[in-house]
A and B are shown apart, each in its own frame.
Chain A
Amino acid sequence: EAQVTQNPRYLITVTGKKLTVTCSQNMNHEYMSWYRQDPGLGLRQIYYSMNVEVTDKGDVPEGYKVSRKEKRNFPLILESPSPNQTSLYFCASGGGWETQYFGPGTRLLVL
C-alpha cells in the first residue's frame, strides 16, 4: 500500500528537549515536504526537499532542521522546542504536485 508514515502521531514534550519526528514514504517520490497547520493560519510549509541531499526552506523554517540522506526518509528535527511550535505537523511526498500525498499528521504539544 502506497503511504506516507509519520512517528510519533502524538507527542507531549517540554521546552528545550530535542525531538525528532520521522517521515517515511514507500512510493519512491523525489519530493518531500513538511508543513505545520494552525487554526486560522492554514498549512504553512516548513522545509522541502526536491531530492536526496537537497533541502530548502519553506515559509516558516525557524526553529526546525531537516535532513534527506535517503530518498524514503525526511525527518523533522526540533533542536530546542518552544511552546510556539505546538502544532499539527504533516509530512508529504510527491512525484509531482498532482501526486502529493500527506501523512497522517503528528500532533505536538510543547509545555
Chain B
Amino acid sequence: QKEVEQNSGPLSVPEGAIASLNCTYSDRGSQSFFWYRQYSGKSPELIMFIYSNGDKEDGRFTAQLNKASQYVSLLIRDSQPSDSATYLCAGEDNQGGKLIFGQGTELSVKP
C-alpha cells in the first residue's frame, strides 16, 4: 500500500514565526507533490505543488522536495492566525490518475 505520512499535530507556533510541516512518502516512483490547506468545515484548496528536487517559493510559502529521502515539506514564513488550518500533503501515484493524501497536520498560529 502506497502511503503518505504526516504528523497529525497539532503544531502550534506564535504569530510571525516559521511553521514547518513535514511529509514522507513510500512510493519512490512518485514525481509530483501537492500541499492543500483545509480550514475547519471547508473543502481542501491547493496552495503549492512541487515536481523537482529543491525549493519552490510562492509568497510566504516554500515547498521543499528531497526525492532521495522521500521527503516533502512546507514552510510558512511570518505565520499569521489566518494560516491556522489543517495542511494536507499529497503525492501522485506513479501509476497515474490517483492522488494519495497524508492524514493532515493541524496548524495553530497563536496571536
Task: Point out residues on A near B: beta carbons under 8 Å.
Answer: 33, 35, 40-45, 48, 50, 56, 58-59, 90, 97-105
Total interface residues on B, CB under 8 Å, equals: 22
Distance in Å from the Cβ of B37 to the closest Cβ of chain A?
11
Stretch at the interface among B11-19, B62-70, B71-79, B95-103: B95-103
Contact yes or no, A40 B101, CB < 8 A: no
Contact (Cβ within 8 A) B49 A97: yes
Q: Are B98 and A45 in contact, CB atoms less than 8 angstroms apart?
A: yes
Q: Is B25 an interface residue (CB 8 A)?
A: no
Decide if B80 is an interface residue (CB 8 Å cutoff).
Answer: no
- Give the residue name and chain of the A residue nearest to B45 (CB): A102
Chain B contacts of A35 at CB under 8 A? 101
Question: Closest 6 CB pairs between A and B?
Answer: A102-B43, A43-B101, A42-B103, A42-B101, A102-B44, A42-B104
